[in-house]
Amino acid sequence: MIGGCSGSGHAGTAPSQRPGARHERPHALAGDPVLELPKVGTLRARCVGRSAYVLEFRADPATASDQLSVRLAGHEVVHRQLDPGQSATVRVPLVKRVVEGGADATYATPPIELAASQTSEPYEVHARGTVRLGDAADGLRHCLIIRASFRIAAHSHTPGGF
């Protein structure tokens, strides 16, 4: 599910131990793009300037801990265990995109690869995919999820399970 979310105040984030991941506390806004990954967590994009956007992953608060891995340009920038409801952020640099037809150039992130898994009894859930964030080109510095592709798979630990 992609949509807006009515956040208020600051989003709590935790620092990562990897280079490229930053401790950020950008404001959550009602217009922030949100992508729900059922039983795994939520991705939220934040526009924090013209040079980078922030992608936040928040583990589902109603499930077990998540193992999260984020890769940019083939390099792992986040690899950590998240407790239910805990989040991790990564600052992603922007690249200029030239729009066909002579329109003004816009900005977007390179593909961001994300893998998250959550194991609990009696099942485990794995989500893997890519997302790209881009400038909404509305002059208001809004960003969008311009492309997202995820596969979510559940596996039962019990005989005869789903």
**Model pLDDT, residue 150:** 95
**Model pLDDT, residue 25:** 39
> 18: helix, coil or strand?
coil
Closest CA to 37 of 123, 113, 126, 124: 126
Question: Pick the residue with more confidence: 106 or 18?
Answer: 106
**pLDDT tens figures, 109-121:** 899 999 999 887 6
Question: Pick the residue with more confidence: 144 or 36?
Answer: 36
Is residue 62 left, alpha or beta, with left meaning phi > 0 and alpha meaning psi from -120 to 50?
alpha
Helix H or strand E encompassing 112: strand 112-120
**Model pLDDT, residue 162:** 54
Q: What is the mean pLDDT of the chain?
A: 76
Residue 8 — very low, low, confident or very high, per pLDDT cuts 50/70/90? very low
**Model pLDDT, residue 23:** 37
pTM of the model: 0.72
Give CA separation, 12 vs 50, 152, 156, in Å.
23, 26, 32
Tokens of 111: 């593909």
**Model pLDDT, residue 103:** 63
Percentage, residues of the chain above pLDDT 70: 69
**Model pLDDT, residue 58:** 94
Contacts of 147 (CB under 8 A, 6+ apart): 111, 130, 131, 132
The sign of the torsion formed by the CA atoms of 116, 27, 138, 93 equals: negative
Is the CB of residue 130 less than 8 Å from the CB of residue 93?
Answer: no
> 159: helix, coil or strand?
coil
